[in-house]
Homo-oligomer: A and B are copies of this chain.
């Protein structure tokens, strides 16, 4: 059977209405729409065809139709009208983002919260750093009180530090020596390359400050390992309870439990080689808890090789047009914000802070 223009129009109407009402859509409701100038009987025929083609489903004989996963897919790919953000919406999104995003690691939480507010659905925000970082430079600063500060500058331009309390007072000279040794032997190597032999070798050359070496190595490998980690936040979980499809507490709980269990930590992987906004409709999701849940997600750039992802989780019947529009706009604004080069002559610029 061919998918005529009129069939598409009917399908779009069904999806649109079902998104709005969460109730099965009957032929009469379609007839009531403006510029739908056929009788309910005609629409019924078309709907019967669409059902036969697998785009619509019928919960039971005497109910209206609801879109099937295939129906949503077609809708998302072809039929959905572009949702244009109103000026008010862009304004409020920008305003929200402009509020200082002070720390990258706090950012995920804030972004998740903002996205959740903008879409009225639970939102996920993830930043992930590629692995394989190494130390570019070690710096030891005498800090008084018998402490020193260890500063690591990494190849990805992150800077990390740690306060170390010294067992005995160490002088400027010993630290200079240690610092030189560290920079000579332990830079430009990844976490895996810190072997026991290396540790021993460094300790031998380190002289009086040798006792510090294990602490430093420990911290360094730890830090490097963490560079490859991801940082994730979920916000607005409670919003799913407001949706009619989750009046069933068990269902809601299953979904919410999957938030707790990092079920979404694989999403960045899904986005790896994608660009733009991706929609996963119901059964397209791998995780079984999400079989009747859709996910909309977008990547954004933080610079320095850091990748960010924001996503929204909702019922298959979510307003894809609106959600994708807002999400894309968010991602774009965020990327733009991070691209803003941080320059000393721009005192009002906040930019991203590295630590």
Contact = CB atoms under 8 A, between A and B. Distances in A.
Interface stretch (A8-16, A62-70, A256-264, A307-315): A256-264
A20 B337 CA distance: 53
Given A105-B105, A153-B143, A355-B355, A165 B241 contact: no
Interface string A328-355: 0000000000000111110100100111
Contact of A241 (B100, B214, B252): B252
B165 A341 contact: yes
B347 A214 contact: yes
A34 interface: no
A237 to B, nearest CB: 5
A237 B239 CA distance: 12
Interface string A150-163: 01010001011111
Dominant secondary structure of chain A at its interface with chain B? mixed
A139 interface: yes
Interface stretch (A81-89, A189-197, A215-223, A276-284): A215-223
- Pick from A161, A259, A341 the residue with the most CB of B within 10 Å: A161
Number of copies: 2
Interface of A: 100, 102, 105, 113, 116, 137, 139, 141, 143-144, 147, 149, 151, 153, 157, 159-167, 211-212, 214-215, 218-219, 222, 226, 235-238, 241-242, 246-247, 249, 252-253, 256-257, 259-260, 341-345, 347, 350, 353-355
A176 to B, nearest CB: 14
A76 to B, nearest CB: 28
Counting chain B CB atoms within 10 Å of each CB, the highest count among A113, A259, A347 belongs to A347
Contact of A161 (B113, B161, B165, B215): B161
A238 B261 CA distance: 11
Contacts of A222: 100, 102
Nearest to A219: B353
Contacts of A247: 249
B260 A236 contact: yes
A132 B215 CA distance: 31
A236 B234 CA distance: 12
B345 A165 contact: no
